[in-house]
Every structure is written in C-alpha cells, then in structure tokens.
Amino acid sequence: MQTPIVPHSQPTDPGRSKPFFEIAIERISSVYKPASARKEGIHYWPEPLPTPSHQLPDPLVLFYPEDLDTNQSGLDQRERQAVIPMTRREVLERRSRENIKPSMQIPLGLIDKPAEQLRETFLVDLHGAGGTATGGPLLIAGAQHSGKATALQTILFWLTTRFLPEQLRYAILDPFAELTHFRTLPHLSKANGDMYWSAEASEEQLQHFTNRIYAEIQQRHDLFASQQQHPQTLSQVWSQGLSIPQLLVIISNYQLFAERTTTALLIKKLAQTVMEARALGVYLIITSTETGPRQLPQELISKCPTRIGLGLSNRQNHELFGATILPAETVPGRGWIQTPERHIQQVQLALPLSGSTESIRDTQLKLALVQNSLP
C-alpha cells in the first residue's frame, strides 16, 4: 500500500496548544478517510469531543441552527455541532401536539466512549424511562467557571422548548442569581400566582420554599393514593386528561446552604424528600462547587446515579466518583460523568445557544425564551 503523505499540521489556535492526541487524530483523519478505512474493515476512531477555544468558543450547542447562512461566518457554521439533529422550531412544533408524554430525558452534550470507539449523545434521564435504576437525580459538581450554571441553562432551555407550563413546572433555588433569565417564565408560577423561586439563601426564605414543595408533594401523594385501585404513573394520569405537571426542583450552589448551620439540615431534608418523590413526577438537580462531606453529604452523592464533574481536582473527582480519575482538559463544559450504569466517561456539555461571547449568548437566550413563550 502506498504510504500516505502526511500534510503539514493545521494552523493551531493561538489561545490553546492542542494536546498531542488531537494533533495525531487530525493528521491521520486528513490522509486516511473514513470511507476508505471502512472498505478495509477498519472502524474509524470517532471524532474528538468538540472543544471550546478562542477561535470557536461555542463548538457545541443544543439545537441544529435555523439559519445556516445568516449572521455566522462559514467557518464557524461548519465546525459548530449540535447535540440533537433538530432545530428549536421543530421541537417547539412538537410541544403543541396534544399527545405529548411526560419525559425527563434531557440531551446535554456528547460523550466520548473510546473503548467502544463511539461518540454518543449524552442524555440525562431524571425519571428513568427504562426502570427506576436507569435514571434519577442529577448532580453537577464543578470548579468555578467550569460551566455549572451554563449546564443548568441548557437543561432549562431544552425543557422550556419541549414542555408547556401545564406540563412542567420548575422550583428553583438560585442564590447567586445565575438563572434570572428564566425567572419570568410561566413555568415558575402556579395558577394562584405563587412562585417557586428563591434567589436568597436565608433560613427564612429556604423554609418558605421547602414548605411549598412539601405541600405540593403531599397533594400529589393524596391524589395518587385516592386512585389506589388503579396504581398510576404520571404518564397514565396524563393520558386520562388530568393535568399534574412534572415538577423539576433545582438547588443551585448546594454548598452555600450546607456550609451554614442554620440551613444545612433544611437543605439536606429538602433534597432527600424530593429524591423520594420521583414516582410522583418530582425531580431533582443539584449543583455544587464543593464535593467534601461538609458541603455535599456522601449519602446525597450516592443517591445521584448521574454525576457530572467539571474541572475537579483529583481529590474532588475521588469524592464524587469514588474512583481515581485523571483531571479532564480544563475547558468550560468538559469533564467526567458517571451514568446510572456506573460507567465513567468524558463529556463535553452543550451551550444552550451559539454566540461568540457570553454576553451575546445571554442576549440570544433572553430573546429565545420570549419566543418560546409566544403562543
């Protein structure tokens, strides 16, 4: 066989020196195309995970772009990837269909599976569509500026695009005001005008918030119990035309509540109570900058089958995954996940929307949320 000529390396991004493996993969890919490799029975190594860089800060977004030709340079469009092969408009159209089913499967990024030579969509399943052991609460632990708040935004953006307020409600503790764009969503207020939102970390606010959640869980208990002859799932309830929305509880920056003696017990009880209400359509996501036992109790970690660690140290990775893992590349949204099957793999999380700077992405997100709320 003729020896392939290896071309000179591509110009590298001035903001980041590429790791050796990425350069090697790029060079091999450029001379030995997947089609010819397949003919010789060689399964091609999957593309490396998209990596945010100075040149392309938004390489992975949630939805396929609507307007391929406008407002972006051709280079960016070719290199940017979407987690799901649908535009936001297409998902919105499905939302208005009447027979939509409850689902807490959320596309959040791409996973690298080198042992299987695969790169796959990372789907978080808060409910466990294939049985309770296949899903459950999500825990995102990450260093500062590693992408925790952005991951929550991507999740909320997906769910808001997918479900109407009568199908899904949020209850959000956001002590660092990182999710304020979502605050005006109808998904946050109840019919009586009550809001499931708190931007404070005080004991009083937290008590008020937890009381509302407990009341909601109790109501659901009573309703499900009253139907005992026919044990109900939320899916069955919906198919009978009853409107009990799914309820997603988000505790952002758990460590802040856990570090204070006045709120530590309250927040832990809230997390545990919500974890036990999954069969009633109540789901939980926690984020934390810390993984030590004082800020994030091990008994909570162990009840979260899906864990994401972004930019964590060796010690923190060990606390989160119970295993020794090398630190992942330090780019935002890059880290390790543990799936309900207990596999630990590298992941790149998606941005909710594209945009070359954080402030452009913020503006786009605000606009898109307004559009999502239009009838």
Q: List interacting residues with ligand ATP (CB under 6 A).
A: 52, 57-58, 142, 144-150, 178, 289, 332-333, 349-351, 358
Shortest distance, CB of residue 308 to ligand ATP, whole angstroms?
A: 11
Could you tell me the smallest distance in angstroms from the CB atom of residue 364 to ligand ATP? 12
User: C-beta of 81: minimal distance to ligand ATP in Å?
Assistant: 11
Strand pairing category for 246-251 and 168-173: parallel
Produce one character per residue of 307-323: b if its CB has 16 or more CB atoms within 10 Å, e if not.
bbbbbbeeebbebbbee
Bridge-based pairing of strands 197-198 and 282-288 is unpaired
Nearer to ligand ATP, 102 or 175 (CB): 175
Tokens of 300: 């909570």
Which pair of tokens denotes residue 148? 């925790």
**Contact, 248 vs 168, CB < 8 A?**
yes
CA distance 27 to 5: 10
Instruction: Identify which of residues 102 and 142 has a Cβ nearer to ligand ATP in the complex.
Output: 142
Beta bridge partners of 246: 168
Q: What does the alpha-carbon distance between residue 142 and residue 53 come to, in Å, rounded to a whole number?
A: 19
Nearer to ligand ATP, 148 or 181 (CB): 148
Q: Distance between CA atoms of 323 and 316, rounded to whole angstroms? A: 10
Q: In DSSP terms, which residues pair with 111 in a beta bridge?
A: 120, 347
- In whole angstroms, the minimum distance from the beta carbon of 361 to ligand ATP comes to 6
With beta carbons less than 8 A apart as the criterion, state whether 352 and 345 touch.
no
Q: How far is the CB of 311 from ligand ATP (least distance, A)?
A: 8
**Phi, psi angle pair for 289, to nearest 5°:** -90, -15
Per the annotation, binding residues for ATP are 142-149
Look-up: residue for tokens 């990182």? Answer: 178
Q: What single string gives the DSSP state of each residue in 341-367?
A: T--EEEEEEPBSS--SSHHHHHHHHHH
CA dist., res. 180 & res. 175, Å (int): 10
Q: Which is nearer to ligand ATP, 335 or 340 (CB)?
A: 335
